[in-house]
Amino acid sequence: MEVGFLGLGIMGKAMAINLLRHGFKVTVWNRTLSKCEELVQNGASVGETPATVVKKCKYTIAMLSDPSAALSVVFDKNGVLEHINGKAYIDMSTVDADTSSKISEAIKAKGGYFLEAPVSGSKKPAEDGQLIILAAGDKALYEEALPAFDVLGKKSFFLGEVGNGAKMKLVVNMIMGSMINAFSEGLTLAERSGLNPGTLLDVLDLGAISNGMFKLKGPTMLQNSYSPAFPLKHQQKDMRLALALGDENAVSMPVAAAANEAFKKARSMGLGDLDFSAVHETLKVPDHSS
């Protein structure tokens, strides 16, 4: 199976390498061209623009930072739309349902096929082919894409009409962003009240709220180490988009709103490119209010 791959950031690079390792022929494109070099060393070809990749490949996957990047790669000059007639486009970026629907409508109007397929799971699951794929849109395309999804992920869900994958992803990340803030507050409270936060990690791990994220991020947060697996700026984008979904549906989300403020504060402190667990640093800023 020959696939195109647009966007070689933390996730896209790992996913494209995985496809190559499993025998897929992959043609890559990235806005910053130098990031294609490592993929070429792994056997990929390079396309000069999104349009040339789509022209060459029957299926093209995208993994881009946010709604504005996802729209630009499709609609701009030399973008996906130029050669989409008869071709398939699978956008795995985390965006909102409106963005996904705009892309879907434009692609279908030009005679192409569209599936949204955002993922749960971060850098390591991407490297290991252990993502959770949240697909929606063209069911026939979903079935054709399963050989690729089986390499990229441990489980794929088909969620119905375009937008449902985006919404599911935003709900999951809204929960995750709220949880990391509660966790960070707990670590800080333990430390400031004279407890050993390492012992708190052990206690949490034995109880009902034990989870993979606390296990993975707890030790590195205690070391103030935030090498990016999931960049904080993307987590804040997901909180913002999830809160907008809450607005549309009149769902009150005070916990998520507070978590979003913490991520915004972290971004204002210049931490946007670090891992999302760097939100922990916001609690270290002295509070002069008392």
Ligand X SMILES: NC(=O)C1=CN([C@@H]2O[C@H](COP(=O)(O)OP(=O)(O)OC[C@H]3O[C@@H](n4cnc5c(N)ncnc54)[C@H](OP(=O)(O)O)[C@@H]3O)[C@@H](O)[C@H]2O)C=CC1
By CB under 6 A, name the binding residues for ligand O=CCCC(=O)O.
94, 120-122, 173, 230
The residue with its CB nearest to ligand O=CCCC(=O)O is 122
Angle between helix 212-222 and helix 197-206 axes, rounded to 10 deg: 170
Cβ proximity to ligand X: between 122 and 181 the closer is: 122
If one asks whether residue 54 binds ligand X (CB under 6 A), the answer comes out as no
Q: How far is CA 121 from CA 118, 128, 154, 190, 208, in A?
A: 10, 10, 10, 28, 21
Cβ proximity to ligand X: between 7 and 218 the closer is: 7
If one asks whether residue 56 binds ligand X (CB under 6 A), the answer comes out as no
Stretch of 5-13, 52-60, 77-85, 248-256 contacting ligand X, by CB under 6 A:
5-13
Phi and psi at residue 208, in whole multiples of 5°? -70, -20
CB atoms under 10 Å from CB of 195, counted, come to 13
Each residue 10-49 as x (binds ligand X by CB under 6 A) or -, in order, gives xxx-----------------xxx--x--------------
Stretch of 37-45, 65-73, 174-182, 262-270 contacting ligand X, by CB under 6 A:
65-73
Cβ proximity to ligand X: between 89 and 230 the closer is: 230
- CA 168 – CA 181 distance, rounded (Å): 21
- CA 276 – CA 264 distance, rounded (Å): 11
Apex 30 CA angle, 24 and 35, nearest 5:
85
Active site residue 169: yes
To ligand X, the closest distance from the beta carbon of 8 in angstroms equals: 5
Phi and psi at residue 61, in whole multiples of 5°? -105, 145
**Could you tell me if 63 and 13 are in contact, meaning their C-beta atoms sit under 8 angstroms apart?**
no
Cβ proximity to ligand X: between 30 and 277 the closer is: 30
Catalytic residue selected from 87, 102, 167, 169: 169
Show Cβ contacts of residue 269 under 8 Å, excluding neighbours closer than 6 positions: 281, 282, 285
Cβ proximity to ligand X: between 200 and 242 the closer is: 242
Judged by CB under 6 A, which of 27, 49, 60, 65 binds ligand X? 65
- CA 79 – CA 101 distance, rounded (Å): 17
Tokens of 75: 């609609």
Single out the residue of 134, 138, 140 nearest to residue 165, CA to CA: 134
67: left (phi over 0), alpha (psi -120 to 50) or beta: alpha
The contacts found for 20-26 with CB under 8 angstroms, 24 or more apart, are 20/44, 22/129, 22/151, 24/148, 24/151, 25/1, 26/2
Judged by CB under 6 A, which of 56, 58, 108, 123 binds ligand X? 123
To ligand O=CCCC(=O)O, the closest distance from the beta carbon of 6 in angstroms equals: 18
If one asks whether residue 63 binds ligand X (CB under 6 A), the answer comes out as yes
If one asks whether residue 230 binds ligand X (CB under 6 A), the answer comes out as yes
Per partner kind, with CB cut-offs from 5 to 8 A, the member of ligand X, ligand O=CCCC(=O)O, none near residue 9 is ligand X
Per partner kind, with CB cut-offs from 5 to 8 A, the member of ligand X, ligand O=CCCC(=O)O, none near residue 277 is none
Residues interacting with ligand X, by CB under 6 A? 7-12, 30-32, 35, 63-66, 69, 72-73, 93-94, 119, 122-123, 229-231, 234
Catalytic positions are 169
